Amino acid sequence: MVYGTMSQDSYLPPAKKFKPGTPQSSYIRKGAMQLGPRKHPVPIEQQRRNLPIYQARAQIIGQLRQLDSAIVIGETGSGKTTQIPQYLYEASIGRQGVIAITQPRRVAAISLASRVSEERKAELGKLVGYTVRFEDVTSEETKVKFLTDGMLLREAIGDPLLRRYSVIILDEAHERTVHTDVLFGVVKMAQKKRKELGKLPLKVIIMSATMDVDLFSEYFNGAPVLYLEGRQHPIQIFYTKQSQSDYLQAALVTVFQIHQEAPSSHDILVFLTGQEEIEAMTKTCRDIAKHLPDGCSQMTVMPLYASLPHSQQFRVFQNAPKDHRKVILSTNIAETSITITGIKYVVDTGMVKAKKYNPDSGLEVLAVQKISKAQAWQRTGRAGREDSGICYRLYTEDEFEKFEKMTIPEIQRCNLASVMLQLLVLRVPNVFTFDFMSKPSPDSIRAAVDQLDLLGAIERREDQVILTPLGRKMASFPLEPRFSKTILLSPKFHCTEEILTIVALLSVDSVLHNPPAKRDEVQAARKKFISSEGDHITLLNVYRAFKSLGKNKEWCRENFINGRNMMLVSEVRSQLRDICIKMSMPIESSRTDTRNIRQCLAHGLFMNAAELQPDGTYTTVETHQPVAIHPSSVLFHCKPACVIYNELLHTSKCYMRDLCVVDADWLFEAAPEYFRRKLKSSKN
């Protein structure tokens, strides 16, 4: 049996019982009503009344009616996101316009809109709707609109005063995504300007699941903080006695340990880091669960991650069949943006996949890293929603003590090229002094502006940064500047059709499905698509085959292609194509000629180039950082002299992912100045 090495003895006895910090002034009594037994659904109106927030309804309405800006704090699941917009609507607050609720995640926006429209017994897209990248389900009638923070930012480009909205709720503010952070500034500016111009006032509500609100309140001119107390039951926490070298194995063992001991109605939520890992673990759990001894209850394993289509996402809200235990394997999406009922056990690996950025080296990498203490508490809290719960932390208490206190806002650890471009399009007078709640370092702002300069998106005149016509066009695409640039360059290389496909493929999670247990079969099936020119062309071959066979699901299964992601690619592609058509770009296909395509990629992505060194290793041109070809690349066993890559992933070493073979000459043509400078610095 695969598991069995980690028993209760592997954990320290519960060190402490956890109850989240008691709010300073709560106006809800705790746990006044219990949810009905989970296997018997309660009518939806009753569910609304059962939420902790319901008892504070009158006070909330009273307060929010008065205030221009407010911060609302409450445990995940207390009803902030689904109820507050409805309370406002029911109390006719903000009826002159639309009530917007932003979400950092696309799936959360969709599932929340569906839930709220269901609660209002309205068809989705009528009174309640949503807008996410590549999808708009709203109409003239829509008064309550869920949208991703990225979408609201795009709307601000067209109308910086955001005039159609009477209320903007910036939700999940604690996540501090780049978009949310930029929105803080944009919304604050819109609120102030509308007031000055005597226009319809804009009410701004910031909602967060964590207690650190001083920064929010201070930033919004001392906005009052409303605390909601959630229904939180005591949670026992177990730490491991020893540090775990393999958190996946530890998680697996812990899940099956619980499964053998706990009643089947107690569901388990496991925090992992990403889609591939979760899919692999889902399969392993299902396989093991098939071969459990008699008497063991059944297990229903469900993956949960941001790119999962929302229909599948919805499965996690449903009860498992009778006598089945629900085991949900999730990314940090279940930390706050989505509430799942029935969870009694949380297994926290202590890891998360997140961006890291070093402005000195200009290097942005996606890395699996330790979570912060705040995240650990948030994860733990998921176990105590309906009754007392248990959280297994797959790390020692000492390790926990070494976690960062708070998660550093993304704006301080990512490449800011997109953000700076956005600010310029928003006509922010001086991007260097934009009113950020947490200021990124001047170095990373400068690095981003330099990058935009290299891409031709801006010009510098004296101290001023001015958007070029090309830069304005680049901002029309919901993409990173380097990808927009690649698309805009493609007519010159007569390969727009292919570039659109490639960019769409790189914009969604991997379309290649690689079940480790079927390696040989996968390799055999994949062979026919593989191009010696790299991953971009290989992916293009996959997409072409998919399309020529009428987007066949069966074919996807046989070829280990993720059909869902493939459908998404095709949607994304058609949206990008629409933008090109609106700009009257000629759209040609280079057909069998792939040289043009690679040349175009080299011209757009020249900042992500790496060169083979005499000793057989690679270094990036940008920073001379040693990098290696990721084992998932079709070029893993090859040694091309010069490549461009899509991203860097830091695990045991720094890997390049998604590579394309290019000529060094093309790179030089793309940005002669830049390469002269880089060449010089590499000789020093």
Binding partner at 180 among ligand ADP, Mg ion, none, C-beta below 5 to 8 Å by kind: none
- Give the residue from 185, 343, 338, 180 showing the smallest Cα distance to 255: 343
CB of 89 to Mg ion, least distance (A): 17
Give 108's DSSP letter: H
Binding partner at 563 among ligand ADP, Mg ion, none, C-beta below 5 to 8 Å by kind: none
Binding partner at 51 among Mg ion, ligand ADP, none, C-beta below 5 to 8 Å by kind: ligand ADP
74 binds ligand ADP (CB under 6 A): yes
| Structural tokens at position 279 | 């899919």
Binding partner at 476 among Mg ion, ligand ADP, none, C-beta below 5 to 8 Å by kind: none
Of 75 and 277, the one with the shorter C-beta distance to Mg ion is: 75
Are 382 and 76 contacting, i.e. CB atoms less than 8 angstroms apart? yes
CB of 3 to ligand ADP, least distance (A): 31
Of 209 and 662, the one with the shorter C-beta distance to Mg ion is: 209
CB of 203 to ligand ADP, least distance (A): 18
Alpha helix (H) ranges present in 234-306?
Answer: 247-261, 275-290
In this structure, how many other beta carbons lie within 10 angstroms of the beta carbon of residue 481? 25
CB of 222 to ligand ADP, least distance (A): 24
Binding partner at 154 among Mg ion, ligand ADP, none, C-beta below 5 to 8 Å by kind: none
Are 639 and 571 contacting, i.e. CB atoms less than 8 angstroms apart? no
d(CA 96, CA 49): 27
Residues 6+ apart with CB under 8 A from 661: 532, 533, 534, 598, 635, 640, 642, 643
Of 115 and 188, the one with the shorter C-beta distance to ligand ADP is: 115
Of 332 and 339, the one with the shorter C-beta distance to ligand ADP is: 339
Give 163's DSSP letter: T
Burial (CB count within 10 angstroms: exposed 0-12, middle 13-18, buried 19+), residue 683:
exposed
Of 208 and 562, the one with the shorter C-beta distance to ligand ADP is: 208
* The one segment of 78-86, 189-197, 426-434, 633-641 that binds Mg ion by CB under 5 A: 78-86
Q: Which of 81, 138, 232, 282 binds Mg ion (CB under 5 A)?
A: 81
Of 83 and 396, the one with the shorter C-beta distance to ligand ADP is: 83
d(CA 437, CA 412): 11
Of 264 and 341, the one with the shorter C-beta distance to ligand ADP is: 341
Binding partner at 77 among ligand ADP, Mg ion, none, C-beta below 5 to 8 Å by kind: ligand ADP
Within its chain, how far is the Cα of 641 from the centroid?
34
Binding partner at 490 among ligand ADP, Mg ion, none, C-beta below 5 to 8 Å by kind: none
Q: Specify which residues 146 forms β-bridges with.
A: 101, 130
- Number of alpha carbons in the 13 Å side-chain half-sphere of residue 417: 28
Q: Which of 20, 79, 303, 640 binds ligand ADP (CB under 6 A)?
A: 79
Q: Which residues, 331 to 370, sit near ligand ADP by CB under 6 A? A: 339, 341
CB of 159 to ligand ADP, least distance (A): 27
Q: Which residues, 307 to 336, sit near ligand ADP by CB under 6 A? A: 317
d(CA 381, CA 376): 9
Are 368 and 651 contacting, i.e. CB atoms less than 8 angstroms apart? yes
Cα torsion for 440, 444, 445, 448, to the nearest 10°?
A: -140
Binding-residue total with ligand ADP (CB under 6 A): 15
Binding partner at 10 among ligand ADP, Mg ion, none, C-beta below 5 to 8 Å by kind: none
Phi-psi region of 411 (alpha: psi -120 to 50; beta: other; left: phi over 0): alpha
Q: Which residues, 30 to 59, sit near ligand ADP by CB under 6 A? A: 51
Binding partner at 534 among Mg ion, ligand ADP, none, C-beta below 5 to 8 Å by kind: none
391 binds ligand ADP (CB under 6 A): no
| Structural tokens at position 89 | 């609507």
Looking at beta carbons, which residue is closest to Mg ion? 81
Burial (CB count within 10 angstroms: exposed 0-12, middle 13-18, buried 19+), residue 567:
middle
Binding partner at 162 among ligand ADP, Mg ion, none, C-beta below 5 to 8 Å by kind: none
Q: Which residues, 618 to 647, sit near ligand ADP by CB under 6 A? A: none
Q: Which of 57, 80, 494, 603 binds ligand ADP (CB under 6 A)?
A: 80
CA distances from 469 to 20, 351, 473, 474, 672 (A): 52, 43, 6, 9, 22
3-state secondary structure of 192: helix
Binding partner at 496 among Mg ion, ligand ADP, none, C-beta below 5 to 8 Å by kind: none
Of 130 and 674, the one with the shorter C-beta distance to Mg ion is: 130
d(CA 348, CA 247): 9
Alpha helix (H) ranges present in 354-479?
Answer: 373-381, 397-402, 417-425, 442-454, 469-474
* The one segment of 71-79, 160-168, 177-185, 419-427 that binds ligand ADP by CB under 6 A: 71-79
82 binds ligand ADP (CB under 6 A): yes
76 binds ligand ADP (CB under 6 A): yes
Binding-residue total with Mg ion (CB under 5 A): 2
Burial (CB count within 10 angstroms: exposed 0-12, middle 13-18, buried 19+), residue 616:
exposed
Give 512's DSSP letter: B
Helices and strands in the chain, H and E counts: 25, 24
Of 105 and 598, the one with the shorter C-beta distance to Mg ion is: 105
d(CA 429, CA 426): 9
Binding track over 275-314 against ligand ADP, x by CB under 6 A: ----------------------------------------
Binding partner at 418 among ligand ADP, Mg ion, none, C-beta below 5 to 8 Å by kind: none
CB of 317 to ligand ADP, least distance (A): 4
104 binds ligand ADP (CB under 6 A): no
Give the footprint of ligand ADP on this chain (CB under 6 A).
Answer: 51, 74, 76-83, 111, 115, 317, 339, 341
